[in-house]
Amino acid sequence: MRVICAPDKFKQCCTAGAAAQALASGVLDVDPGAEVLQIPVADGGEGTLDALSGEFSDRRNVRVQDALGREVDAQFAMHGTVALIESAQACGLARLDENEYNPAITHTYGVGQLIKAALDAGATEILIGLGGSATNDGGTGMARALGAKFIGDKDAEIEPNGDSLMKLRKCDVSGLDPRLKSVKIRALCDIMAPMLGEQGASRSYVVQKGGTTRTMHKLEEGLAMLQFATSSAGLRGNGLEPGSGAAGGLGFGIYSILGGELEAGADKVLDLIGFRKLLQGTDLVLTGEGSFDAQTAQGKLIAVLADDCKAAGVPLVVLAGAVAGDVNIEGVTAAFGISAYGQRRQDSLNEGLANLRKHAAAVTRLMKSKR
């Protein structure tokens, strides 16, 4: 058998690399002679730098602000004059303790610092992975780090975060770093959701970032004020563009304020690692992530894998921490939850790698019985 193990990370449990190794071990437990490829992947969120380390091996270190404004060590990577930035390195939820989650006060300033560092390194093209953020500021923090100003009442400048956007009246981009005009910027979005509306950044994702229902409505209003201010400044974007809602509206900030383009992160990552060629002659693809649910279908990794596997006629089996019963994605052969029913969440996290190995072995045993 030829098997590809291509999981995403399992949040708070393991990296994509560790998950791929556990899946591969499960396959080899049953079929020691199998050809197993370990290909950790990502969709633009946390782990994107690692997933593309073969293509972007020149890592650069930089000090930036995290989502709460604290100085942290972060990295970006270069390949020639193309820079790869993982926004979660700066504003990622994984940077915070759970008791610090609060999308009303977090910001993306550190992402702007990463972009500035890439410009200083001579980048002529910048890929920015979006996903796993602790923020909901529409990318205003990022833009402020690059020279934009956001004005409230009485022409007073505000320091933008999710909460203060409700005070926003004007957006001034005259001070943006002039180097941005000659650089191609592409946002690799983990979800292709809009910034505004029922399926947008605030209403769909604020709760998992620590917000309440009341916070959700306030932040939606703040993002609407941002869209109005950018439109009044002559910038493009209505907040409904697919991908503009990625990373709490950071996609919108890149598209509207920086003039960048939005694309599906998972599709780009798979393209860069040559995944479609690797599918040739493959008997099975094993993948997984923390949760297989309604958000998965919004352009996340498994949905893109499903399209590729369907086109190649290769079975795709999903092993996830939790599987929603009402999710059906064409191209997914089967999806299994690896956590024991009724198990405490922390126990499920602690046993995640062992459960991945066990379930990968079971799937391999089934596949071998049909050959």
Q: What is the pLDDT of residues 237-250, one digit of tens each?
A: 999 999 999 999 99
Q: Are residues 91 and 237 in the same domain?
A: yes
Please give the biggest Cα pair distance in the chain. Answer: 74
Which of 251, 266, 281 corresponds to the end of one domain? Answer: 266
Element (H, E) at 205: helix 201-205
Ramachandran region of residue 155, left (φ > 0), alpha (ψ -120 to 50) or beta?
A: left
On whether both 6 and 129 belong to a single domain, the answer is no
Same structural domain for residues 227 and 251? yes
Average pLDDT taken over every residue of the chain: 94
Contact 284, 145 (CB under 8 A): no
Residue 163 sits in the same domain as residue 57: yes
**Strand partners of residue 263:** 188
Judge if 154 and 256 occupy the same domain: yes
Q: Which tens digit of pLDDT belongs to each residue from 142-171?
A: 999 999 999 999 899 999 999 999 999 999
Reduced to 3 states, what is the DSSP secondary structure of residue 185? strand
Question: Is 75 in the same domain as 133?
Answer: yes
Task: Indicate the Cα dihedral angle 8, 9, 14, 16, nearest 10°.
Answer: 50
Same domain, 80 and 141: yes
- Please state the separation of Cα 37 from the chain's center in Å: 23
Indicate whether 120 and 235 sit together in one domain.
yes
- Point out the domain boundary residue: 214, 236, 266: 266
Q: Position 17: which residue type?
A: G
Could you list the residue range(s) of the whole structural domain that residue 363 is in?
2-41+273-369
Q: What is the pTM of this model?
A: 0.92
- How many distinct structural domains can be found in the chain? 2
pLDDT for residue 297: 78
Q: What is the domain-level CATH number for residue 180?
A: 3.90.1510.10
Task: Tell me how far apart the alpha carbons of residues 203 and 17 are, in angstroms, rounded to a whole number.
Answer: 32
340: CATH: 3.40.50.10350
pLDDT (0 to 100) of residue 323: 87
Asked whether residue 33 falls in the same domain as residue 129, the answer is: no
Question: Which of 36, 43, 48 has its CA nearest to residue 77?
Answer: 48
Are 131 and 176 in the same domain? Answer: yes
Same domain for 73 and 176, yes or no, is yes
**64 and 152 housed in the same domain:** yes
Q: Where among 241, 266, 291 does a domain terminate? A: 266
**CA–CA separation, 205 and 250 (whole Å):** 13
Q: Which residues of the chain have pLDDT under 50?
A: none
